[in-house]
């Protein structure tokens, strides 16, 4: 009787945690729809109306924004997928030397915050102040800049470069799981390596490629970093930046209702995109190894192309990481942005860094960032464990629905969750003073990354055989104890991987933070954004360099630890 | 008759004495309240009042003046328009994230209309604040006066093509020098102000010609992007002269011209907010910003001052150039009047044009 009660209590606690998370996800999405049916600002009385939808449909500016967003997403995918595919192929399927180093270089690419790269690209490829453009113009005697970052293609290029390592991680998982028997058969029948690559390997990984394309598309749809840093000043608005100006308008009051309508439409579009995504994922299992044997296809010998492989990976690292960083560093030394010259060099100093070191607001932002990096992954791992346990180990009714709800934050643009929680926190601010606090950021980050945590932990838990659990149950061990003493130790690598990845995501996140940050909840990313957006380009650059310098050792340690857990897997 | 005059004089003296003792009492009470609060939060654009450095010095001077040990928090937030929208939303919802607000006529008209400003008898409470400094009586005070104008990078705009007025910006003889590269602000207020001089039709025509020439949108705090050459020219910026004076000190090639005569003038105001977390400190600090010592610090870091405080750079500039500005309260009242009906429609029309 006592054992049964403990059993029941454990399940109740897990169900309670999972249920609260599911309610939070549905509640925040529901708030967006509710917002869309109201007018005015939170706290003002309003009836229910479809006016916001009619306004949106009748506004040609919104169609232009959507068209820009689609073009931006297309360029992003066009850059990220081919690069990710080539990197994955080189690392997984060839005899490229020093693969561990190549993987680490790409890993750094993921960890370097996107908005910092975007800042660097303004100083590199802007048609009037871009160093590369000016060098080209001087060398070739051109009167106009040959390249222009301040275009839709330009911002798509930067976003694509940034997402290439993520595409690599996702595609390499597919290449690793590919059924090698077909490749071997092709080889036995005398088909050349390159022909095998095009005719056998590519068709085998197409479902994974398609799901990566859809994943990249949803990221590009909601991306704020690059469109915010490069696009806004150049009159290029995408979905996220247009939404930002609905809440932070240049004239008049925030248009929460309109942003809610816009968000509701985006939720529908995102959910529709999940249909081909799931279809592709279902297809991908057909092409994977189904035996438990450790069987890998022989790698392709690159021969004299080995150097070319490294030139590509090294070149990518230099262009996507080193160059923007150097550009930011240069700007941080100057009293105002100038082209490299003797005169500019004479004016260079570390003055900004001196001011930065004693800035209490920056220290506060650093502390808040650390807090997020510890608390958010801890919450995500605890909640995801509860959800994944219910989904994969229990026979509770509604577990399939719970899994679907936990997945919802994945396709829906995260900034909509931020918008929703801001609205909700404002509504209840008289009763619970949550608005503007760091807790709001913690809550929304945790809600949004539960989808990632549950994907990782679902796959980890599925691999644990039921026998162990059943034996413990027969022995009368309570549910929570079984989870903590039997399952958790077995899925530890997955838990650590989910924790580290979420922690690093909290460090680099800007999109949600920019909608929610207040003086009390500044984090490093919003601090840099505030400086940039406020016109302090040099100050923003100096803080960005400090941010990189201080956080890099921590980030690198995390990354190395994650690699040791041998869990560098796709977050899908 | 003589007796009556003596009685009247005595009554006036009594009224003045009572009012000044009440004022002194009020300042004392505010200081006592501020000492209990111990903190102040101000959210504004990152470079406001010289950014963290300037605001740090203002904080130190404030503490010194009133014998306080208040922790002064300055946080970089959105620019004034967005911040006004945020403040209104927050106050209506019951919690303001900033204790006071900085903005010009258009922002304060909105704040006034939405009833989010804390009433304070500024000139009656603080001896150094004059009635003329109260832009919105009992609500806001003038912290700096800003002359709008065109700014350009003198190394990128040829000398024979430099604009002398707003009309020059769309002159076909000059405009090829900045076609596709000129930044225009994302706000419409300066054009609405211009319509008071030019008339709405002329401004409409001007906007129709200017928007296709533009290469981007810059907010009023982003003049460094003109200094850097990212945009060689900006059609209008608040505090054009002050920006030029500030960047001149760093050797930057920034030139400013007031685009109209008389110049479009923005009156930047400070006011305490309802639902502020530190109401006493907020009132005290806003009042402090009108003092000579605060104006000197603002001028040092931000280059801006109010023309109503004697001896400031702007007061001297206006006097030297014989420019007479409309009294701030009068300009504010005219602005609020223009907000209704036709004025509002005109601004909406301009906003649509800017979206192109």
Query: What secondary structure does DSSP assign to A2-35, as a single string?
Result: HHHHHHHHHHHHHHHHHHHHHHHHHHHHHHHHHH
Check CB contact of A258 with chain B, cutoff 8 Å: no
Best probe of the B interface among A341, A519, A542, by most B CBs < 10 A, is A519
Q: Which residues of B touch A530 (CB under 8 A)?
A: 46, 75-77
Check CB contact of A143 with chain B, cutoff 8 Å: no
B224, B229, B232 member nearest A537 (Cβ) = B224
Q: Considering only A1-10, B132-141, B282-291, B318-327, which range has the smallest mean pLDDT? A: A1-10
Q: Mean of the pLDDT values across residues A251-277?
A: 85
pLDDT band at B313 (very low <50, low <70, confident <90, very high): confident
- pTM to 2 decimal places: 0.81
B221, B229, B252 member nearest A535 (Cβ) = B221
pLDDT band at A6 (very low <50, low <70, confident <90, very high): low
Best probe of the A interface among B47, B59, B76, by most A CBs < 10 A, is B76
pLDDT band at A310 (very low <50, low <70, confident <90, very high): very high
Q: Which residues of A touch B94 (CB under 8 A)?
A: 43, 429-430
Q: Which residues of A touch B223 (CB under 8 A)?
A: 535
Cβ within 8 Å of B, A 112-131 = 122, 126, 128-129
Q: Which residues of B touch A535 (CB under 8 A)?
A: 45-47, 219, 221-225
Q: Considering only A80-84, A468-472, B38-42, which range has the smallest mean pLDDT? A: A468-472
Q: Which residues of A touch B79 (CB under 8 A)?
A: 533-534
CA A342, CA B81: separation in Å to the nearest integer?
Answer: 40
CA A77, CA B227: separation in Å to the nearest integer?
Answer: 35
Cβ within 8 Å of B, A 370-429 = 426-427, 429
Q: Considering only A37-41, A264-268, A523-527, which range has the smallest mean pLDDT? A: A37-41
Check CB contact of A140 with chain B, cutoff 8 Å: no
Q: What is the model's pLDDT at position B117?
A: 95
Give the tens place of pLDDT for each residue, A132-153: 999 999 899 888 889 999 999 9
Q: Mean of the pLDDT values across residues A299-328?
A: 89
Q: What is the model's pLDDT at position A282?
A: 67
Give the tens place of pLDDT for each residue, A190-239: 777 777 777 777 777 787 788 889 888 888 988 898 999 999 888 899 99
**Could you tell me how many CB contacts below 8 A there are between chain A and chain B?**
163
Q: Give percent of chain A above pLDDT 70.
A: 91
pLDDT of residue A372 exceeding 80, the answer is yes
**Residue A490 vs residues A452, A472, A487, B234: alpha-carbon distances, Å:** 19, 14, 5, 62
B43, B189, B215 member nearest A519 (Cβ) = B43
- Phi, psi for residue B145 in degrees, rounded to 5: -105, 135
pLDDT band at A399 (very low <50, low <70, confident <90, very high): confident
Give the tens place of pLDDT for each residue, A316-367: 999 999 999 999 999 999 988 888 888 889 989 998 888 777 777 788 899 9
Check CB contact of A527 with chain B, cutoff 8 Å: yes
B51, B85, B215 member nearest A249 (Cβ) = B85
Check CB contact of A16 with chain B, cutoff 8 Å: no
Give the tens place of pLDDT for each residue, A516-532: 887 778 899 998 888 88
Check CB contact of A533 with chain B, cutoff 8 Å: yes
Residue B150, phi-psi category: left (phi > 0), alpha (psi -120 to 50), beta (remainder): beta
pLDDT of residue B324 exceeding 70, the answer is yes
Q: What is the model's pLDDT at position A302?
A: 80
- Which one, of A78, A253, A256, lies nearest residue A157 by Cα? A78
pLDDT of residue A486 exceeding 90, the answer is no
Q: What is the model's pLDDT at position A530?
A: 84
Q: What is the model's pLDDT at position A311?
A: 93
Q: What is the model's pLDDT at position A281?
A: 65
pLDDT of residue A545 exceeding 70, the answer is yes
Q: Give percent of chain A above pLDDT 90.
A: 31
Name the average pLDDT for chain B. Answer: 87
Q: What is the model's pLDDT at position B19?
A: 44
pLDDT band at A564 (very low <50, low <70, confident <90, very high): low
- Output the CA angle A499-A504-A505, nearest 5 degrees: 95
Q: What is the model's pLDDT at position A466?
A: 78
- Output the CA angle A64-A65-A71, nearest 5 degrees: 90
Cα-Cα-Cα-Cα dihedral of B17, B20, B26, B28, to 10°?
-100
What's the DSSP call for residue B234? E
- In chain B, the residue whose alpha carbon lies closest to the alpha carbon of A359 is B52
- In chain A, the residue whose alpha carbon lies closest to the alpha carbon of B81 is A250
In angstroms, the separation between the Cα of residue A387 and the nearest Cα of chain B is 34
Q: Which two tokens stand for residue B258?
A: 């007031």
pLDDT band at A440 (very low <50, low <70, confident <90, very high): very high
pLDDT of residue A567 exceeding 50, the answer is no
Check CB contact of A361 with chain B, cutoff 8 Å: yes
Cα-Cα-Cα-Cα dihedral of A530, A535, A539, A541, to 10°?
80
pLDDT of residue A507 exceeding 80, the answer is yes
pLDDT band at B23 (very low <50, low <70, confident <90, very high): very low
Name the average pLDDT for chain A. Answer: 84
Give the tens place of pLDDT for each residue, A429-439: 767 778 888 99
Q: Mean of the pLDDT values across residues B145-170?
A: 94
CA B353, CA B121: separation in Å to the nearest integer?
Answer: 41
Query: Is the predicted ipTM greater than 0.85, yes or no?
Result: no
B43, B53, B106 member nearest A355 (Cβ) = B53
Give the tens place of pLDDT for each residue, A44-61: 677 888 999 999 899 888
In angstroms, the separation between the Cα of residue A505 and the nearest Cα of chain B is 23
Q: What is the model's pLDDT at position A3?
A: 52
A129, A427, A429 member nearest B230 (Cβ) = A129
Give the tens place of pLDDT for each residue, B99-135: 999 998 888 998 998 899 999 999 999 999 999 999 9
Query: Which residue carries 């009133």 as its tokens?
Result: B66
Check CB contact of A539 with chain B, cutoff 8 Å: yes
B43, B52, B181 member nearest A359 (Cβ) = B52
- The answer to whether the Cβ–Cβ distance between A43 and B247 falls below 8 Å is no
Q: Which residues of A touch B247 (CB under 8 A)?
A: 336
pLDDT of residue A283 exceeding 60, the answer is yes
pLDDT of residue B228 exceeding 60, the answer is yes
3-state secondary structure of A348: coil
Q: Which residues of B touch A351 (CB under 8 A)?
A: none
Q: Which domains does chain B have, with CATH numbers?
A: 2-144+268-322 (3.40.190.10), 149-263+334-354 (3.40.190.10)
Are the C-beta atoms of B257 and B265 separated by less than 8 Å? no
- In chain A, the residue whose alpha carbon lies closest to the alpha carbon of B156 is A128
Q: Which residues of A touch B225 (CB under 8 A)?
A: 233, 535, 537
Are the C-beta atoms of B286 and B273 separated by less than 8 Å? no
Check CB contact of A493 with chain B, cutoff 8 Å: no
CA A50, CA A42: separation in Å to the nearest integer?
Answer: 17
- The answer to whether the Cβ–Cβ distance between B217 and A233 falls below 8 Å is yes
- The answer to whether the Cβ–Cβ distance between A535 and B53 falls below 8 Å is no
Question: Residue B325's CB: how many other CB atoms inside 10 A?
Answer: 17
CA B9, CA B224: separation in Å to the nearest integer?
Answer: 57
- Which one, of A275, A273, A243, lies nearest residue A261 by Cα? A243
Check CB contact of A535 with chain B, cutoff 8 Å: yes
In angstroms, the separation between the Cα of residue A326 and the nearest Cα of chain B is 17
3-state secondary structure of B102: strand
pLDDT of residue B70 exceeding 80, the answer is yes
Q: What is the model's pLDDT at position A222?
A: 84
pLDDT band at A571 (very low <50, low <70, confident <90, very high): very low
């Amino acid at each position: 009787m006592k054992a049964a009660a403990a059993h029941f209590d454990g399940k109740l606690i897990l169900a309670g945690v999972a249920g609260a998370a599911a309610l939070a996800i549905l509640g925040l999405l529901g708030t967006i729809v509710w917002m869309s049916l109201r007018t005015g600002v939170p706290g003002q009385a309003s009836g229910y109306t479809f006016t916001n939808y009619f306004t949106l449909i009748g506004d040609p500016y919104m169609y232009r924004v959507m068209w820009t967003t689609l073009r931006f997403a297309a360029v992003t995918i066009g850059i990220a997928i081919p690069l990710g595919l080539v990197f994955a192929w080189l690392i997984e399927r060839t005899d490229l030397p020093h693969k561990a180093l190549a993987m680490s270089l790409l890993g750094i690419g993921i960890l370097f915050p996107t908005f910092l790269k975007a800042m660097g690209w303004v100083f590199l490829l802007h048609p009037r102040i871009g160093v590369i453009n000016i060098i080209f113009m001087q060398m070739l005697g051109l009167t106009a800049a040959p390249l222009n970052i301040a275009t839709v293609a330009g911002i798509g290029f930067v976003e694509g470069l940034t997402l290439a390592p993520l595409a690599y991680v996702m595609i390499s998982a597919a290449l690793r799981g590919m059924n090698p028997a077909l490749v071997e058969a092709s080889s036995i029948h005398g088909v050349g390596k390159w022909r095998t690559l095009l005719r056998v390997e590519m068709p085998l990984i197409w479902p994974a490629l398609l799901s990566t394309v859809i994943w990249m598309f949803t990221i590009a749809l909601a991306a704020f970093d690059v469109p915010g840093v490069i696009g806004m000043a150049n009159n290029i608005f995408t979905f996220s930046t247009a939404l930002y100006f609905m809440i932070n308008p240049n004239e008049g009051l925030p248009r929460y209702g309109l942003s809610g309508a816009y968000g509701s439409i985006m939720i529908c579009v995102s959910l529709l995109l999940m249909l081909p995504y799931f279809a592709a994922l279902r297809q991908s299992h057909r092409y994977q190894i189904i035996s438990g044997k450790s069987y890998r296809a022989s790698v392709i010998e690159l021969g004299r192309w080995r150097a070319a492989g490294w030139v590509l990976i090294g070149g990518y690292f230099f262009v996507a990481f080193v160059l923007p960083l150097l550009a930011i560093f240069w700007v941080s030394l100057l009293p105002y942005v100038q082209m490299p010259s003797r005169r500019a060099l004479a004016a260079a100093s570390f003055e900004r860094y001196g001011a930065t070191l004693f800035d209490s607001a920056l220290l506060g932002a650093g502390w808040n960032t650390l807090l997020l990096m510890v608390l958010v992954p801890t919450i995500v791992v605890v909640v995801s464990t509860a959800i994944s346990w219910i989904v994969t180990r229990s026979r509770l009714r509604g577990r399939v629905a719970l899994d679907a709800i936990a997945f919802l934050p994945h396709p829906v643009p995260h900034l909509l969750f931020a918008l929703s929680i801001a609205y909700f926190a404002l509504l209840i601010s008289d009763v619970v003073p949550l608005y503007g606090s760091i807790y709001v950021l913690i809550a929304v980050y945790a809600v949004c990354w539960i989808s990632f945590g549950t994907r990782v932990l679902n796959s980890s838990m599925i691999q644990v055989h039921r026998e162990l659990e059943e034996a413990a149950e027969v022995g009368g061990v309570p549910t929570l104890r079984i989870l903590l003493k039997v399952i958790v130790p077995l899925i530890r690598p997955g838990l650590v991987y989910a924790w580290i990845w979420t922690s690093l995501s909290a460090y680099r996140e800007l999109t949600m933070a920019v909608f929610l940050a207040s003086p009390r909840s500044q984090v490093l990313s919003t601090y840099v954004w505030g400086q940039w957006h406020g016109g302090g380009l040099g100050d923003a650059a100096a803080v960005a360099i400090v941010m990189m310098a201080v956080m890099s050792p921590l980030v690198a340690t995390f990354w190395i630890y994650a690699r040791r857990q041998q869990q560098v897997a796709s977050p899908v | 008759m003589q007796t009556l005059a003596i009685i009247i004089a005595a009554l006036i003296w009594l009224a003045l004495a009572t009012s000044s003792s009440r004022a002194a009492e009020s300042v004392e009470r505010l200081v006592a309240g501020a000492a209990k609060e111990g903190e102040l939060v101000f959210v504004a654009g990152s470079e406001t009042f010289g950014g963290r450095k300037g605001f740090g010095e203002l904080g130190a001077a404030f503490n010194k003046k009133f014998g306080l040990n208040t922790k002064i928090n300055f946080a970089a937030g959105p620019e004034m328009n967005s911040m006004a929208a945020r403040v209104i939303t927050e106050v209506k919802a019951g919690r303001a994230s900033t204790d006071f607000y900085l903005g010009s006529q258009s922002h304060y008209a909105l704040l006034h209309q939405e009833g989010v400003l804390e009433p304070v008898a500024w000139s009656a409470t603080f001896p150094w604040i004059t009635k003329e400094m109260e832009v919105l009586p009992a609500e806001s005070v003038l912290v700096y006066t800003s002359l709008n104008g065109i700014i350009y990078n003198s190394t990128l705009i040829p000398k024979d093509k430099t604009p002398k007025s707003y009309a020059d910006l769309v002159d076909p003889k000059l405009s090829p020098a900045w076609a596709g590269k000129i930044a225009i602000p994302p706000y419409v207020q300066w054009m609405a102000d211009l319509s008071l001089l030019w008339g709405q039709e002329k401004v409409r025509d001007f906007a129709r010609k200017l928007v296709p020439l533009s290469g981007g949108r810059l907010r009023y705090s982003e003049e460094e992007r003109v200094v850097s050459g990212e945009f060689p020219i900006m059609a209008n910026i608040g505090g054009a002269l002050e920006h030029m004076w500030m960047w001149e000190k760093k050797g930057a090639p920034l030139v400013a011209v007031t685009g109209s005569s008389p110049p479009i003038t923005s009156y930047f105001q400070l006011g305490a907010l309802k639902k502020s977390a530190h109401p006493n400190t907020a009132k005290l600090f806003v009042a402090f910003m009108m003092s000579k010592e605060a104006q000197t610090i603002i001028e040092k870091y931000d280059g801006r001052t109010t023309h109503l405080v004697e001896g400031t750079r702007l007061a001297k500039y206006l006097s030297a150039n014989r420019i007479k500005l409309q009294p701030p309260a009068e300009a504010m009242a005219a602005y609020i009047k223009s907000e209704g009906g036709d004025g509002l429609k005109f601004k909406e029309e301009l906003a649509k044009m800017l979206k192109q």
